[in-house]
Structure 1
């Protein structure tokens, strides 16, 4: 019996070797994950190599040096050349110089990790900084769904009118709102035909009878909601493509609310070009030119304000364009070279085959704001030409005012036409100096909080205070390392606030444990017994309090966006690292130092 009791006493505060190995391994991995943040990022310009010819590094260095731009390092990975700049203020200028030589599509602004290659080869990168820490531009865009609904409603009304009039049923449609229109008929057969057609082909539209032989046709609320979700997601994808075309590699683009898109461009200080491209709604429509007064026709105007009568329905639109590039025609005029997708190519091939010798008009379509603040569609004919022969997926368009307009139009067409026009609700620019100041203030708050906490723990808990302080350092290392490993994580000012809050939470864990140990020693137990019972009794309290806080962090992350999500992520990860450092790391150290101490009157 005595041997059994002795065996149990020896096993108090005992960690098997594998537990120590796990604690040490986790701390080492998190240390290496956090280490790249000491070096942060370098501002750079990247050039994509086209595979046909290698660009001499010395040539790039001399080009920049001749314009007074110093580079600290130029590396070639085979498909990309990265030029690291000494001064971040010269990044945009360097991009412009290299873009003139190698092409806009191949040159991009970038931030590359400044950590040593051996550390990067291990798969560890520094944490990306948000707009408030790095500086840059933020746009909040509102997708104008009324334009989408109105266009869909008018198209449906025109289709119904054309189909029924061809059958001799004589109906007329009139737009009442963006999501509804009325249809007037003269004979009962027309009403029956409309009801059958709508039920069969357009179930998302409701039909109601009104007085005077009139039907009201409106888009159902559920259909409006699903269409809004689809269009906003399509616009989000196109926005990302456009930003990539601009050569910005670290943009944050996300949906905010039901019909808004938040775009953050870290490092961009001149928002004019970005705003022009991101918010542009320009596209091309190709119409058949018809005689004046033709049925189902419309009158548009060219650059000289001359009227051109075209069909209501375009042959193809910008959505069929797969690729576009700007250039010059044989006459030296700016032009855009187009490549259509397979469906668009088939449609264009069939149309040009059947209309050789007839004119086709190219219309430039854009959206603008009128004097009342409403979004209006602006269409102008930029080119009218006779179809000389059948063509399909590759052709050129001319009639563009300037080479810059041709370049911008080609960029927009490459990235894709927006599914709906957008309005810039708000625009915010944060300078790099303000971002640097935010970093300095955030780090100062973190250091001050840690120093005050470390001093308090040393004065109040003496020897155990050293353990708590070591655990606190481990906690900060693990938290920064874990944030660096989290996919897509971006550190913002609220994230730094979360790190500062984690310092207090980590110490709170140790305070609870140490107070339990002191309570057990007052009851006459040995130090080893007090440590064992202290950790056991404190675990439930620590787990419950941290678990409830973790639930709050998960909810914030799920329903929040932007900075709120950043704070919630750091808070949640901080809870996990606090429990790891406060319970497991502290316990491992205390077990090794005092785990077998049988004294009762010791003060630690």
Structure 2
């Protein structure tokens, strides 16, 4: 029978629409102004902290709507932003610097929807307000480190090959110059470096002098790797500190944009992102006496570092292992109750540590804590100078062989141990970051953007509905119902996707898909009218109209999907949001226009003796 759907198809359509409605509803409840409290260093959030917060609010007669202790964080909801700001001032002073107190927004979703895991769409910075940072990676530090490692590697190789040289030194642009004693040594070194160092270029060779530089390909690889890993590490660090829904993406060749929707406090956000710490494990050079240390008579392979108490220690320059290989770091206590950090290494780090401890039994190893800090100094061009701070936090005798797991002891400062474990667990940055741009986007501006976006969506929707009803009459009503269903499907799916964030371009994508949905219905209706003009019966005209328009709809949407896919691949941030929302809209518009309207048409006209269509 033409134009007939079985009952199960209608049940599936009703189920899909019902699910979409359930996950769309939370977006209409709005959000409560809220405060989020997260523990910093040794301060763990528990019921005692909750009672302390409640006592501060009660003392100042601040009425909160709800106080929630969840996943080690406290969320306090308020009825208005004025009360929120008053409470923020009180709690910031009361809790001091022991906790991170941030302004936030909490969805006002009813409990029955929360139980179904129905949540509103996450809003981007332009819709919700928050803090934006543009952070520049200090590539000079990482490339200088590669230059130093290359020099150490060259020195070791030349010594192994018994190739004599008189001097090896750094040049500008991360180049290296080696002066050899004779022509024979020069030629041997040139042959060896050309064969075994693919990442190096020999840019100048004359008079037994070899000038070497890092290839452009290697520099690009290093930059891409540093940006990618730093983005992952920043994301882990923000998650560890309890900041939700942060958006992090690269911008240009050496910059990372960080957006934290809902947070209005730049000082706190800087505190979260400012820690650029790592560890270096080095062997102690015990062959140097105190007199040599005082006179700074230190061999070239060593250097003086200091403990937190100011005591000098001579370390070999060669770094055995860095924090890059740390996969987990946990704070706990040893057998006699002293604090310690238990560290897990990846397979490469475990192999390095196993070989090192096996070959250096009964020797002493130091753990050097390295941190880059912004202390207010700038270059003449205004760029921030990050100051490198180093201190030895642990000295231990290698009394056994260990690999993937070991522990750092001897740190008696409990807050320091907790902070160290948190930073190492979140990841160590491959290169220090400096904030080159910062700005706050207020929630009021976000509300205006949402209002304008909703107005634009409704204007587009009602304009399309009016056109369809006036031009296609009853079939226009059917198409309009599909438009509304399409809008519900889009919002429902976007609410379901865990990583989806809606921005203003995303709203533009939704509006665009409404036009695409109308276009599909226009094609179907016009094809039905053509079939009627060609003398087909009403049932045949409906059947052939939908069947004939299908290929045109698929072709039109396929070209749009290709364009959107390219936008998603090459775009960043808000461009991706536009691409995703448009892609979702295309899929739902095809579903609602082809299957949804067909179901309504079949229900109204299928199997019936109809004399005239209202189209």
Superposition TM-score, scaled by structure 1 size: 0.80
TM-aligned CA deviation for residue 471 of structure 1: 1.2
TM-aligned CA deviation for residue 530 of structure 1: 2.6
Give runs of aligned pairs for residues 227-242 of structure 1, distance below 5 A. Answer: 227-242=222-237
Aligned in 2, Cα 1:200/1:111: closer, same or farther, shift over 3 Å? farther
Instruction: Please state whether the residue corresponding to 1:424 is helix, strand or coil.
Output: strand
2:58 alignment partner in structure 1: 65
Does the aligned pair in 2 maintain the 1:506–1:578 contact within 8 Å? yes
- Are 1:295 and 2:299 matched, yes or no? yes
Does the aligned pair in 2 maintain the 1:209–1:215 contact within 8 Å? yes
Aligned in 2, Cα 1:371/1:81: closer, same or farther, shift over 3 Å? closer
**Bigger CA drift: 551-560 or 275-284?**
275-284
CA distance in 2, matches of 1:99, 1:241: 25
Does the aligned pair in 2 maintain the 1:348–1:393 contact within 8 Å? no
Describe the superposition over 1:201-248 as per-residue Cα deviations: whole angstroms up to 9, x where unpaired.
644334466011011222233332332222222211221233235431
TM-aligned CA deviation for residue 405 of structure 1: 11
CA distance in 2, matches of 1:218, 1:459: 73
Aligned in 2, Cα 1:270/1:259: closer, same or farther, shift over 3 Å? same
| Structure 1: tracts of 5 or more residues without a match | 1-10, 326-335
**Bigger CA drift: 161-170 or 136-145?**
161-170
Instruction: Please state whether the residue corresponding to 2:2 is helix, strand or coil.
Output: coil
Of 405, 409, 431, 1:394 maps to 409
Give runs of aligned pairs for residues 277-316 of structure 1, distance below 5 A. Answer: 277-279=272-274, 281=276, 291=292, 292-296=296-300, 312-313=317-318
- Are 1:587 and 2:602 matched, yes or no? no
TM-aligned CA deviation for residue 414 of structure 1: 6.0
- Are 1:548 and 2:559 matched, yes or no? yes
1:330 alignment partner in structure 2: none
Aligned in 2, Cα 1:374/1:562: closer, same or farther, shift over 3 Å? closer
- Are 1:133 and 2:127 matched, yes or no? yes
Instruction: Please state whether the residue corresponding to 2:519 is helix, strand or coil.
Output: helix
Aligned in 2, Cα 1:73/1:360: closer, same or farther, shift over 3 Å? closer
Describe the superposition over 1:388-447 as per-residue Cα deviations: whole angstroms up to 9, x where unpaired.
98997213399xxxx999998886566443211224343332111101111111111111
Of 253, 259, 272, 2:267 maps to 272
**Bigger CA drift: 345-354 or 587-596?**
345-354
TM-aligned CA deviation for residue 135 of structure 1: 0.3
**Bigger CA drift: 315-324 or 551-560?**
315-324
**Bigger CA drift: 281-290 or 245-254?**
281-290
Aligned in 2, Cα 1:98/1:528: closer, same or farther, shift over 3 Å? farther
Aligned in 2, Cα 1:590/1:363: closer, same or farther, shift over 3 Å? closer
Aligned in 2, Cα 1:200/1:97: closer, same or farther, shift over 3 Å? farther
TM-aligned CA deviation for residue 495 of structure 1: 0.9
Aligned in 2, Cα 1:300/1:575: closer, same or farther, shift over 3 Å? same
Instruction: Please state whether the residue corresponding to 2:3 is helix, strand or coil.
Output: coil
**Bigger CA drift: 445-454 or 107-116?**
107-116
Aligned in 2, Cα 1:395/1:207: closer, same or farther, shift over 3 Å? farther
CA distance in 1, matches of 2:447, 2:247: 19
CA distance in 2, matches of 1:374, 1:123: 46
CA distance in 2, matches of 1:404, 1:85: 32
TM-aligned CA deviation for residue 483 of structure 1: 1.4
| Structure 2: tracts of 5 or more residues without a match | 332-338, 400-406
Does the aligned pair in 2 maintain the 1:141–1:261 contact within 8 Å? yes
Does the aligned pair in 2 maintain the 1:70–1:87 contact within 8 Å? no
Aligned in 2, Cα 1:422/1:64: closer, same or farther, shift over 3 Å? same
1:3 alignment partner in structure 2: none
- Are 1:156 and 2:165 matched, yes or no? no
Of 76, 81, 85, 2:78 maps to 85
2:380 alignment partner in structure 1: 371
TM-aligned CA deviation for residue 370 of structure 1: 2.4
- Are 1:104 and 2:99 matched, yes or no? yes
- Are 1:180 and 2:175 matched, yes or no? yes
Aligned in 2, Cα 1:372/1:301: closer, same or farther, shift over 3 Å? farther
- Are 1:121 and 2:115 matched, yes or no? yes
Does the aligned pair in 1 maintain the 2:56–2:90 contact within 8 Å? no
1:23 alignment partner in structure 2: 13
CA distance in 2, matches of 1:349, 1:286: 15
Query: Number of residues paired by the alignment?
Result: 576
Aligned in 2, Cα 1:170/1:77: closer, same or farther, shift over 3 Å? closer
Does the aligned pair in 1 maintain the 2:373–2:388 contact within 8 Å? yes
Instruction: Please state whether the residue corresponding to 1:395 is helix, strand or coil.
Output: coil
TM-aligned CA deviation for residue 580 of structure 1: 1.3
- Are 1:211 and 2:206 matched, yes or no? yes
CA distance in 1, matches of 2:497, 2:230: 27
Does the aligned pair in 1 maintain the 2:35–2:105 contact within 8 Å? yes
Give runs of aligned pairs for residues 400-439 of structure 1, distance below 5 A. Answer: 415-439=426-450
TM-aligned CA deviation for residue 126 of structure 1: 1.2
The alignment's C-alpha RMSD in Å is 4.4
